[in-house]
Structure 1
Amino acid sequence: MSQTLHRPTASNGASASRTPERVIPVVLDLGLSSPQKPVKTAEEGAAFLGLCGAMLRTTPGAPAGALRALEMLRAQGWRSAPVLAGQSAETLAQLLREAGYNGHALPLARRLKAMAAYLAETWEGTPEALRQAAGAQVPALRRLLRKIPGLGEAAVDSFCQDMQVIWIELYPFAEPRALRAARRLRLGLGQDAAALAGNCAPEELPRLAAALAQIERRDDYAVLTRRLSA
């Protein structure tokens, strides 16, 4: 059965003459409202902070300052499940209010505490134990992550996208919104994360995917087109 090729047009995100080298810097500038700090292998509690970051970013009504909230957790030294679980919900909610969560602060604080308590009681206080139990098998890892209280599918996607730089079995990974944006902008010859990964160094894929997801979430294609045409 023959397949009709769909040619890119300006109406679906970018003209055929715009190359990834031209599009990607604009995507990163538009899609990342604040610098996306890469996860560092040597950082204390990197995997646990990755879970916190995923929950912060995917909370309904999450502010652009989700990264600020994560930095505040770091500054407080709340880098492990037992330590975070030991904080009162109101103490944690106050930190989240200062980061901009306002009406969502207390429910989110309770979800973060429940997640931390579950890890502390069930998985030795660290997501690394889940990784070991999954045997480096991504489907098994995702099933275990979904059992964590308060961690939905979107948060699991966000976590996998961020952690692929140090949990190498996750590479390449891009959340569904990022892949939709990549297809619309013709970034790669295929329709999966491997095709998108061909546009950047491995350590840059989380930033690129996060920027694409944000553009898709906000439907910023018209703004992107104007910037590319300038």
Structure 2
Amino acid sequence: MVDELLREHGTTYAEAAGIELADKPSPLFELLVLTMLSSTRISADIAVKAARELFRAGWRTPQKMLDSTWRQRVEALGRGSYRRYDESTATKLEELSRMVLDEYGGDLRRIRPQGENAADDLARVIASFPRIGPTGARIFCREVQDVWPEVWPYFDDRALKSAEKLGLPAEPRELADLAPEGRVAVLAAALARVKPKE
């Protein structure tokens, strides 16, 4: 069942957006941008497409995002079919970038969580960024867990419900043990994507 899931849906949203996720400032910022784009009422595919357009323009760091104009960001979002929210999102991208620079010196590794409640602590911090909130925070935690093992194993409610409907364990550690090494985020993303039959 897990092999089939990974074969059919085995790509994280970060991978789909062209992000080579690593414990480095630029890819973590890219993930935060993707998370923000995914936090509105818009399809995941459109959020990924819009993120690819922003990154194709070279805006992979908070400073480079701030160096772009509002109009350039609107146009890039439009090319990514992110039209319903393009103007407000262009503004929010500036706010997000400024917050990353001002509060974290441009380096999101400063929010890397430690301790027993690492995932909850990280989700709280991520939810405080412009337009992200709890749903986006769960996306970030799910995607970053193979890079920040302190968050591992992270499956949001949607992924756990899918696992249960598919007859897989609904307990995060048991579910994580079914994933290939270093690919728990991929399994979590696959479970978030799949629509099991009732």
TM-score by length of 1: 0.73
Instruction: Output the CA distance in 1 between the equivalents of 2:57 and 2:24.
Output: 15
1:61 partner letter? I
The aligned amino acid for 1:195 is E
Q: Is the 8 A contact 1:80 1:126 kept in 2?
A: no
**Given the superposition, is the C-alpha separation of residues 151 and 63 from structure 1 closer, same or farther in structure 2, using an over 3 Å criterion?**
closer
1:50 to 21, 31, 34: 31
* Correspondent of 2:141 among 160, 184, 199: 160
Distance verdict in 2 for CA 1:127–1:32, change over 3 Å: closer
Aligned partner of residue 79 in structure 1, secondary structure = coil
Displaced runs of 4 or more, over 6 A: 31-35
Aligned-partner Cα distance in 2 for 1:157–1:33: 13
Q: Secondary structure at the match of 2:85?
A: helix
- 2:164 is the alignment partner of 1:183: yes
Change in Cα spacing, 1:103 to 1:40, as seen in structure 2 (3 Å) is: closer
- How many residues were matched structurally? 195
Rate the CA distance shift 1:38–1:124 in 2: closer, same or farther, 3 A: closer
**AA partner of residue 200 (structure 1):** A
Q: What SS does structure 2 have at the residue aligned with 1:109?
A: helix
Cα distance in structure 2, aligned partners of 1:35 and 1:144: 23
Question: Structure 2 length as normaliser, TM-score?
Answer: 0.83
* Aligned match of 2:76: 95
- Point out the structure with max Rg over C-alpha: 1
Residue ranges of structure 1 left out of the alignment (5+ in a row) = 1-18, 226-230
8 Å CA contact 1:44–1:79 kept in 2: the answer is: no
Quick one: percent identity of the two aligned structures?
21
Unaligned runs of 5+ in 2: none
Confirm or deny: 8 A CA contact 1:165 1:202 kept in the other structure.
Answer: no
